[in-house]
Each structure stands twice: as structure tokens, then as C-alpha cells.
Amino acid sequence: MRLPADFFLAFRYLRPKRTFVSVITLLSILGPTLGVAILLIVSSVMAGFDRDIRRGIMNMQAHLQVYPRYEAVIGDPAAMMAALREHGVQCSPLIEGSALIQLRQSIQPKMLRGIVPALEKEVSNVAAKGFIGRFDIRDGEAIIGQRLAMQLGLRIGDQMLIHSPARLTQNVTWKDDGQVDISQPDEIYLPEEVHVVGLFSTGVADFDDNVIFVTLDQAAELFGYEWGAATCVQGKVADPMRMDALVQTLREALLPADVVTWQERNQLLFGTLRVEKNLMSFLMAFIVLVASFSIAATLITVVVQKTREIGVLKAVGMSRWLIARIFLLQGAVIGVIGTSLGTALGLLVMACRNQIAALLSAIMGHDVFPAELYHLTQIPALTTAADLGRIVALSLSICVLAALVPALYASAMAPAKALQDDV
């Protein structure tokens, strides 16, 4: 099959006289290759972060939570739960607060969550993913994260002590003059002794490191609440992505209680992720744009080298559009090759991302992806067809546009002057 003249010349000009591919052509291909690879990696990781953090939040949090507006606790959560169930919301009472856990000589602050195990399963997925042991806890039993268990050296069956801030400070009062008065306790203070019966893993490091589950009644006793009380009632809806109308109805029906959705609780986090993703995408697109200058430089060099040939082509009647199309096609060819290589490289890096991170951590002597900082235990990645299509389209467009200036320069060249050029 014979190629059209412009296609034939476009491919011919990309080949040097003595080698298969010139150094300058290789460098021009390297630009979009690296740009596309970096853009794909960053885009996939940021999308993965957003997906995994949302998924982790859905595992560890209910879709909505109802708080008392004027009281510290809900005295009768059963009535609140009955109202929620009338609107099709699965619900469970919750007591949440800070506590101190003690293991031998170590004391650490943690978040204590008092639950009703049977109802908790209806509103969260803590017991569904990677759970070890028994979730149906009783008084004197606790569930902790697998990461926390590894940090403390705890196994199922081991015991630890829980200190209540409410109990520790119940004999401490502040005087009007700012002084502290410590009275003698009426009874000896003893921490709660609990046995670990289950280990959970949500994949969100901050949650797995700091949350401890006990029974609702035990949490009420630790925090000094009446048995049966709750700090909030949490609920699960059929479609957490489309719950605005339902939430508005609940806010009107449950007045004066406050209804807070999972999006509202994590609004700052989601906003930060969105800004970071947009900023990184802009910066990476700028890198691809900068890489396009190598294409422009390559094609300008080709135009200068082929000045006499361009003059001959014009002299035999080749139109300005055909000459311009030769160099536009060169830009497109470089773009296709560079984009294809960049896509393959980016996908390969994404497939081996955790192994690469482990290798870099071993070489550098420290963790390059600390879970405490990023809130995830592994590097996430999500590459969608839409994102990949946008990256490919952006790269090809920039590569073709980079060839526009050399193409216009070549097409505007006067035949007589080109033939007189000694280059």
C-alpha cells in the first residue's frame, strides 16, 4: 500500500540519515512520554485517595447522625430511633468520647465508642471487612483496630484498662479565684478492665489506630451517663449519595435535634482533596505543555534542515496546506508514540505502586507513604476510562499544537529563497 505524499514525507523526515531514530527525535518523544506518565499517575492516585477515603468513611461512619441540640446526651434514644425508622432509616445509638487506655506502664488517649453490637452492624461496615474475632461484645469486652493491636502487642483474649476522664476529674473543682480544689473521693477509683475479643480493619489508619468499641452501657458508666442514654443516634439510608430531601424531612421532623450527614462531617477533608486534585492536575498538564516545546524545537530543526527540499516541493506545485500538514503529521506521530509510551509507563507504575513504595522506603531508610499522614495503609489508585481519555486527548492536542508554528513557518517559506539556501 502506497502512503499519501504528506504521510510519506512526515515519516521520512522523522528518520535521520544514518540511524533509525535520531537523538533529537527521541528527546522529543521523551517529553510527552514522561508528561503523560506523571499526569496519569497523579490523577490515578488522587482519584484513588478520594475513592478510598470515602469508602473508609462509609465503613467507619454512619450516613447520618442525630445530636441533641441543647443537652449533652439523648435521654431516650429509643424514641428518636422510632422516628427515624418511620422514614426508612436504619439506626443505632452511640456514645462517643475520649478515654485513656492503659497497658502495663503505657497510657494513651483514644476515642471510645459505646455501641449496641446487633444494631451497629446495620449502620456501619466495621465488622464486615477483615474482621477477626467476635463482634457481639458484652460488658467487660472491647474491639480494637488491628493496627492498634500490633502497636500495643495485643492479641484476642488480652486485657487492658480504660480510664474515664469523667471519673478522674469528678473530685476536681475550679474555685472562683481560679484555684483548683481536689476533694477526697467517696470511694476508691478503679479503671475499667476489658478483654479484647475482636480486631477490625477499615483501611483508614487514623480510625484503626485510635478507636475502641465497648458496649453502650459500659461507655455510659465510664462517662457518667444514665444507662440507656446516647450522645447521638446514627442512621443508614438506602442511597447515601442522594439523601438531601430525606435529610431535610428529618430535620423538620426531629426538631430541635441536629441532623448531620457524613458529607457535612467530612466537608473540610473532601474540599481539601478536591482542591489538591485540581491543583495537581493543572500542574501536571503544565508539565505536558512544557514538554511540547521539545516537539516544537525538533520540528523547527527539521524545517531548517529540509529548507531546500521544501523549496523543491513548492516549486513542483505542492500547496502550502500540504506542506503544513507534513509537519502537523510529524507532531501527531510524536504525540501518538509519546502518549502511548507514557500511558503504558503510567499504568505499569500504578500496577506496581506499593512494591515501588516499599523499595524506596528500604533504600531511603524511612517510610515514603506513612499511614499516619495519609490516613491509608496502602497507596490508592483509580484509573477510569474517562480520565484516561482526557489525558490522551490533552497530550495529543498539545503535541499537534506544538507542531503548528513549525508547520506555518515551513508553509510560508518562499520557494526561491529556500532553493538558494545552502543549509
Lookup: cell for 163? 480510664
Name 162's bridge partners: 101, 192
C-alpha cell at 71: 443537652
Assigned C-alpha cell, 167: 471519673
What was the pLDDT predicted at 239? 85
- Name 215's bridge partners: 115
Q: Would you say how long the chain is, in residues?
A: 423
Phi/psi of residue 41, nearest 5 degrees:
-65, -50
**Alpha carbon distances (Å) from 416 to 308, 316, 318:** 9, 12, 14
**Could you write out the DSSP letters of every residue in 55-69?**
HHHHHHS-SEEEE-S
CA count, 13 A, side-chain hemisphere, 159: 6
Name which of 298, 297, 334 is nearest 11 in CA terms. Answer: 334
Written as nine digits, the cell of 147 is 493496627
213: pLDDT confidence band, cut at 50, 70 and 90? very high
What average pLDDT does this structure show over 85-108?
88
Q: Are 203 and 59 in contact (CB under 8 A)?
A: yes
Q: What is the pLDDT of residue 182?
A: 53
Mean pLDDT, to the nearest integer, of 74-86? 89
Gap between the Cα atoms of 396 and 402, Å rounded: 10
Whether 294 contacts 407, CB under 8 Å: no
Residue 141 has pLDDT above 90, yes or no: yes
pLDDT, tens digit (0-9, with 9 covering 90-100), for 384-422:
888 888 888 888 888 888 777 777 766 666 665 555 554
Q: Would you say 159 and 195 are in contact if contact means Cβ atoms under 8 Å apart?
A: yes
Residue with cell 441532623: 259
Hey, what amino acid is at 257? A
Examine the pLDDT at 230 and tell me if it is beyond 80. yes
Q: Please tell me the distance from the alpha carbon of residue 412 to that of residue 423, in angstroms, as a whole number.
A: 17
Domain spans, the chain: 5-55+269-420, 64-236
**Cβ pair 293, 402 in contact under 8 A:** yes
pLDDT, one tens digit per residue, over 318-337 is 677 777 777 777 778 888 88
> Do 254 and 66 meet the contact criterion of CB atoms below 8 Å apart?
yes
Query: In terms of Cα–Cα distance, which of 214, 232, 223, 217 is closest to 61?
Result: 232
pTM of the model: 0.65
Name the more confident of 277 and 169.
277
Mean pLDDT of the chain: 79
